[in-house]
Amino acid sequence: MATRSRQYGEASIRVLKGLEPVRQRPGMYTRTDHPLHIIQEVLDNAADEALAGFCSQIDLTLHQDGSVSVQDNGRGIPVGIHPEEGVSTVEIVFTRLHAGGKFDKKSGGAYSFSGGLHGVGVSVTNALSKRLEVQVWRDAGEHRIVFAQGEVIEPLKEIAQVAKQRRGTRVRVWPEAKYFDSLQIPLQELSHLLRSKAVLLPGIKVSLTDEKAAKTQHWQYAQGLKSYLDEAIEQQSAQAWVFPPFEGAQWIESGHESFAEGEGIAWVLGFTEEGGCVRESYVNLIPTSAGGTHEAGLREGMFQAVKTFVELHALMPKGLRLLPEDVFSRASFVLSAKVLDPQFQGQVKERLNSRDALRLVSTLIKPAMDLWLNEHVEWGRRLADMVIRQAQVRQRALQKVEKRKASGIAVLPGKLTDCESTDLGRTELFLVEGDSAGGSAKMGRDKSFQAILPLRGKVLNTWETDKDRLFANQEVHDVAVAIGIDPHGLHDALDWNGLRYGKVCILADADVDGSHIQVLLLTLFYKHFPQLIQRGHLFIARPPLFRVDIAAAGKRQARKRYCLDEAELRSLEDKLRKEGVKNHAWSISRFKGLGEMNAEQLWETTLNPDTRRLSPVVLGEAGDDPVRECFHLLMGKGESSARRQWLERRGHEVEVDI
């Protein structure tokens, strides 16, 4: 049994300095199965130099002693004394978290577009390495600095004179074994990463040298994305393209009202009838293996372009409706996006979360694909035929499911506004607080897969209610019947054929009453529908608390932005100031409840799968006593005295917005 210290004073508070936070919790900053990601941080810095137009060659070497080096012929990391910190700039880059040349996005900044925005990249590499050496060729000199365990052991010094035109950086890393499950870097993944850099940077030479195998590979793509996708699809599938892939690039010009100059996309897009699909996306050369909003924008733009073509040429069979997955299911693509201020999910940057990226990509891809389809009508008709066949197959499958269910379906609640689809992979039920918000949600939803059930008032506290008495409450009865699953325990055997929705989403106001309703519904599901949570079907929708209206200025049109909370609001205000927007040029509105949102706002912020915030509810291990004790304290009828004591002891820690 663990012992607990009774002493808690000023000395109990510890401040982690320098790179110590990274070494204590490496999993928060990088992958810990192997060191590839910390090497990628160094590689990304070299790629950013190439993206900025200052580098033409990147060489990565796997040395026999287990170290890895990355060398480029870019500008070289600055070696002079930093004007504010008083130490060499190269030392700051490798020893300070949140320091780098990629925060300044204004004119004159070192990098307009880059993958690194957190400022923790190569400092994490240094923190998790037992040794790291940096050589910089710059200002007619060769400079060297050496680190061990994240600390400087050989200060920066000039070791040789070189030709003035020679520039570049070489970083050699010895990863520390204790931070990783294995020091073996997966060669296939590394090769794919290097090859993709060569593809996304046409003309740049990229090489990989393995000293143990005495082997060197080189990549340089003059044709860019198309040749890369051709190679990838040959490895995945023996099927030929339905028609030649669609390739293009679109970039934002100066003076655009919504996006920054230079933002944009390059893409290649093809379709096959059978076999595997190849789908790769990048943001500022960073591979986004988990996709994100830029892929959602590609999907939306493609769907709208194909739908327009089908309608224009009257190809749609009567009674058939196209869905985005009908268009996207057989698509292979490589997408490279340039985004001025990308927001990634986590330091590993596997997924892009920037909402503006969806609009950027869909805005650029749709007109380009519209033009391409109508310039190649024969290819457009082939694509339309394939998409229509996919839709017909999907529709027939749904009809078969409906026939099996029709005879035993329950009488659904009258307040439920159901959706058209019965595919659990798509269907969603929103439990909405109040009839007013329910009305907006009904008008704003996508009726093909989203159902709405308004809840009047607060749901019954069911913590101490017997399972047999649940249906005596009308609201609980309606929720259970709409979902299609009976109340149950964690280990009860259940017939899941009755489940009507793949996602059950709690949608309440972002205020105290809304939080109370969330807790009441979570109590209902935790106590009486735990397997629904265990199987990943329960979610909480997070509507924004603020709307910011930004006035038109110059060529920029009036804009509106939504913020989830005060932290996002402050971040948006800082971004607007950096753009040169004056403080009085925007106004802030606070939503008092969902009922204040119109249908369009509710769709854009809370219902649209591509832009909403939806948090999954996760069930702890069976017999999770702390969670059960917490619910009992909060919801138990005989626990009022304990609740009061808890509030007196802990209430000062919470800021309540009443």
Strand partners, 417: 452
Contacts (Cβ under 8 Å, ≥6 apart) of 468: none
Active site residue 433: yes
**Using only C-alpha atoms, what is the Rg of the chain?**
28
CA distances from 53 to 57, 111, 116, 135 (A): 11, 10, 16, 21
DSSP 308-320: HHHHHTT-PPTT-
Give Cα 497 to chain centroid, integer Å.
Answer: 32
Residue 511 a catalytic site member? yes
**344 exposure class (CB count in 10 Å sphere: 0-12, 13-18, 19+):** buried
Q: Among residues 431, 433, 417, which one has the least CA distance to residue 593?
A: 433
CA angle 324, 500, 621 (to 5 degrees): 100
* Nearest C-alpha neighbor of 250 from the set 373, 335, 355, 368: 368
For residue 455, what is the enclosing H or E element? Answer: strand 450-455
Q: Closest Cα partner for 462 from 514, 528, 506? A: 528
Question: Catalytic residue at 549?
Answer: no
Order of strands across the sheet that contains 546-550: 559-563, 546-550, 586-590
Distance CA 603, CA 607 (A): 5
Q: For residues 34 and 214, give the distance between their C-alpha atoms in angstroms, rounded to a whole number.
A: 22
Residue with tokens 């924004």: 544
Give alpha helix (H) positions in 183-255: 187-200, 225-236
Contact 82, 89 (CB under 8 A): yes
Q: Per the residue annotation, which of 420, 511, 568, 579 is the catalytic one? A: 511
Distance of alpha carbon 158 from alpha carbon 538, whole angstroms: 60
Catalytically annotated residue among 176, 300, 418, 433: 433
* Cα-based torsion angle of the residue sequence 7, 10, 12, 13 in order, rounded to the nearest 10 degrees: 150
Amino acid at 84: E
Of the candidates 133, 509, 604, 610, the residue annotated as catalytic is 509
Catalytic residue among 513, 568, 573, 639: 513
Tokens encoding 140? 């007619």
Residue 203, helix vs strand vs coil: coil
| Strand order from edge to edge, sheet including 129-138 | 151-161, 141-148, 129-138, 168-175, 68-72, 57-62, 205-210, 215-219
Burial of 12: CB neighbours in 10 Å, binned 0-12, 13-18, 19+ = exposed
Active site residues: 433, 509, 511, 513
